[in-house]
Amino acid sequence: MTFPRCDQTVAWQALKGHFEAHGRGLDLRDLFAQDPQRASRFGFEAAGVFVDASRAHWDVATTRHLLDLARECGIEARRDALLAGEPINQTEGREVLHTALRAPRGQAPHSDLVHETLDQMLAYVEGIRATAGGPAGGDIHDVVNIGIGGSDLGPQMVVPALDPFVHPGLNFHFVSNVDGHDLAAVLRRVRPEHTLFIIASKTFTTQETMANAQAARQWFLEQGGQDIARHFVATTTNVEGAAAFGVTTTFGFWDWVGGRFSMWSSIGLPIALALGRDHFKALLAGAHAMDLHFAQAPLESNLPVWLGLLDVWYRNFKGYTSHGIAPYHHGLRRLPAYLQQLLMESNGKSVDQDGEPLPYATSDVVWGEPGTNGQHAFFQMLHQGSDVIPLEFILVRQATHRDESQWSPALQALMAQQHQVLLSNGLAQAQALMWGKTQQEAVQETVPTAASSGLAVDVLARHRTFAGNRPSLTLVLDQLTPESLGALVALYEHRTFVSGALWGINSFDQWGVELGKALSKDLLPRLATGDVSGLDAATAALIGRLR
């Protein structure tokens, strides 16, 4: 199956012509004035996720050219190959089937294998949850997930996001950093007889994870812990390695599950422990609903396709080098970190599938913080800085609080009002980014205070002028539930695939993380011995200082 790279198509040349003629100078305020239906024209919805793309820097002509590009690059056939389990991860010779992990039985490749493991894991989960938080000495109160990268970021994002659905008798802790301060802070808060440790490593050899696991086991034994086999469980394919460690309960997954796409597999064990069988299945069902939309919707209404096309337009034509994620929901505070790995580890590549250097940029930089916290940190730059940086707002229409039924009517009213304040802030920031404030408007605002500042009115007004025409997307969920969160994450997964496919890269390997790991193994003994032979001068000098 061979398709042209985006820059080798007729549509790409047409898109370049469009950009030079019209796309370079698009102004959102003019676009809304020219098209009263723009808000509805650029509103897309799928699997309970609504996206307002009307404040994006594109117009109808842009989208027509982008759709032509998608078709000429064979995006539908590439998508079908992904979902059918063809080995599209060519550098590793693997299928890419995270979608199979959330498909109903019989509706995806490897279905029997997936559901056999899922059923085993969920049976174990229900056994732990049945007595969790109880008074008996052996009951589990705390779950400590030890992993890194994809074995950490997904569970660490989902569990707090779905706090209202979490078992009230369980506390969840996530340890990823090889820095012992990470683990030590958790161990201070738990007791061995009430703690379950999950060691999440496909190979059971990941350096950071195994260092933390060894330290956790030592602490467990020194604190009088009994029965490692009961208090340690592993999500791994290395059953022999886990057994040598003392772990007898393991849940596996497969080579066709990439780390950053693995929260739907047994790597999601802490999520399942938190949510229980039904809610974990609802998380899978939400993702599957987005999978079906991606698989079946025509390109003109296919939400992941639209967002992937926008990423290509922004990166390669508008020249935007980063975009921010601003979730206006405290539960989604770890979503930006999760998306950093998903988007940048997948598409941070500089050669195509054939190993040829690319003449254009690929992944931008992804960053962000929750809602109003970000407003008091980096929004100054977004509004008045010299760079134009697209922002993605994520709003949740209705709040869900775990303990709301126990609150007084007065407290319920106050918390409801807080949520309205949160939403109004999100709406206002998107509005302000687009509309800005002219110098004339700033002058009228500044006159009353100019005298006290000691500055002339026009000088002070320039400080209060906002350029506007800053692009954004607004994603809206009705509620943050297992279903809606599953759909949201799957949307970002498929969006990543679409942009990577157009760029002609392999979005499913990550060789860039391997070099540093290999060098670290060489440097570790040198820190102990002081041997700096064969090293560059800078590294040698730093080893001397660190010793």
The per-residue pLDDT for range 363-391, each reduced to its tens digit, is 999 999 999 999 999 999 999 999 999 99
* Same domain membership, residue 320 and residue 289: yes
**What's residue 138's pLDDT?**
64
**What's residue 471's pLDDT?**
98
For residue 484, which of 377, 394, 391 has the smallest C-alpha distance? 394
Q: For residue 424, is it within any domain?
A: yes
Describe the chain by its helix, strand, coil percentages, rounded to 5.
Answer: 55, 10, 30
Please determine, for residue 40, whether its predicted confidence score (pLDDT) is greater than 70: yes
Handedness of CA 245, 246, 247, 248 (dihedral sign): positive
Q: Is 22 a catalytic residue?
A: no
Total tally of structural domains belonging to the chain: 3
Burial 255-276 (b: 16+ CB within 10 A, else e): ebbbbbbbbbbbbbbbbbbbbb
* Same domain membership, residue 181 and residue 263: yes
* Same domain membership, residue 325 and residue 220: no
Q: How confident is the model at residue 453 (pLDDT cuts 50, 70, 90)?
A: low
- Which residues are CB-neighbours of 412 under 8 A, at least 6 positions away? 404
Residue among 95, 345, 369, 483 flagged as catalytic? 345
Q: For residue 320, is it within any domain?
A: yes
- Mean pLDDT throughout 408-427? 96
Q: For residue 94, is it within any domain?
A: no
Q: For residue 61, is it within any domain?
A: yes
* Same domain membership, residue 430 and residue 316: yes
Please determine, for residue 429, whether its predicted confidence score (pLDDT) is greater than 80: yes
Q: How confident is the model at residue 442 (pLDDT cuts 50, 70, 90)?
A: confident
Residue with more model confidence, 56 or 202: 56
- Rounded Cα gap, residues 176 and 481, in angstroms: 26
Please determine, for residue 344, whether its predicted confidence score (pLDDT) is greater than 60: yes
Q: How confident is the model at residue 237 (pLDDT cuts 50, 70, 90)?
A: confident
Residue among 181, 222, 376, 521 flagged as catalytic? 376
Q: Which two tokens stand for residue 63?
A: 């989208």
- Rounded Cα gap, residues 121 and 250, in angstroms: 9
Residue 541 CA, chain-centre distance (Å), reads 38
* Same domain membership, residue 383 and residue 468: yes
Residue with more model confidence, 447 or 309: 309
Q: For residue 1, is it within any domain?
A: no
pLDDT digits (tens, 9 = 90+) for 291-343: 999 999 999 999 999 999 999 999 999 999 999 999 999 999 999 999 999 99
Residue 542's domain comprises 515-546
- Mean pLDDT throughout 450-477? 86
- Rounded Cα gap, residues 163 and 412, in angstroms: 18
Q: Is 345 a catalytic residue?
A: yes
* Same domain membership, residue 258 and residue 290: no
133, 134, 139, 144: CA torsion to nearest 10: 10
* Same domain membership, residue 380 and residue 347: yes
* One-letter amino acid of 239: V
Q: How confident is the model at residue 186 (pLDDT cuts 50, 70, 90)?
A: very high
Q: Is 376 a catalytic residue?
A: yes
**Which 3 state secondary structure label does DSSP give 352?**
coil
Residue with more model confidence, 322 or 454: 322
Tokens 């509103």 correspond to what residue? 43
Q: For residue 149, is it within any domain?
A: yes
Ranges 6-10, 439-443, 488-492, 517-521: which has the least confidence: 439-443
**What's residue 121's pLDDT?**
97
Q: For residue 250, is it within any domain?
A: yes
**What's residue 136's pLDDT?**
61
Helices 75-84/60-72 angle, 10° precision: 60
* Same domain membership, residue 52 and residue 81: yes
- Mean pLDDT throughout 107-124? 96
Q: How many CB atoms lie within 10 A of CB 146?
A: 29
Q: For residue 181, is it within any domain?
A: yes
Please determine, for residue 3, whether its predicted confidence score (pLDDT) is greater than 80: yes
**What's residue 356's pLDDT?**
97
Residue among 20, 116, 514, 517 flagged as catalytic? 517
* Same domain membership, residue 310 and residue 231: no
* Same domain membership, residue 528 and residue 462: no
Phi, psi of 262 (to 5 degrees): -105, 0
Examine the fold and report which residue of 280, 304, 323 is the final residue of a domain before the chain moves on.
280
Average pLDDT value for the chain? 95
* Same domain membership, residue 60 and residue 107: no
- Rounded Cα gap, residues 30 and 302, in angstroms: 26
Q: How confident is the model at residue 440 (pLDDT cuts 50, 70, 90)?
A: confident
**What's residue 77's pLDDT?**
97
For residue 142, which of 103, 97, 187, 112 has the smallest C-alpha distance? 187
Whether the Cβ atoms of residue 448 and residue 490 lie closer than 8 Å to each other: no
Examine the fold and report which residue of 280, 310, 344 is the final residue of a domain before the chain moves on.
280
- Mean pLDDT throughout 123-139? 85
Please determine, for residue 137, whether its predicted confidence score (pLDDT) is greater than 60: no
- Rounded Cα gap, residues 436 and 383, in angstroms: 8
- Mean pLDDT throughout 469-489? 98
**What's residue 443's pLDDT?**
81
CATH of the domain at 190: 3.40.50.10490
Percentage of the chain modeled with pLDDT above 90: 91
- Mean pLDDT throughout 147-159? 97
- Mean pLDDT throughout 517-524? 93
Examine the fold and report which residue of 228, 255, 280 is the final residue of a domain before the chain moves on.
280
- Mean pLDDT throughout 143-157? 97
- Mean pLDDT throughout 338-367? 97
- Mean pLDDT throughout 153-165? 98
Phi, psi of 427 (to 5 degrees): -65, -40
- Rounded Cα gap, residues 45 and 303, in angstroms: 7
Whether the Cβ atoms of residue 5 and residue 503 lie closer than 8 Å to each other: yes
* Same domain membership, residue 301 and residue 273: no
For the chain, give the longest Cα–Cα distance.
77
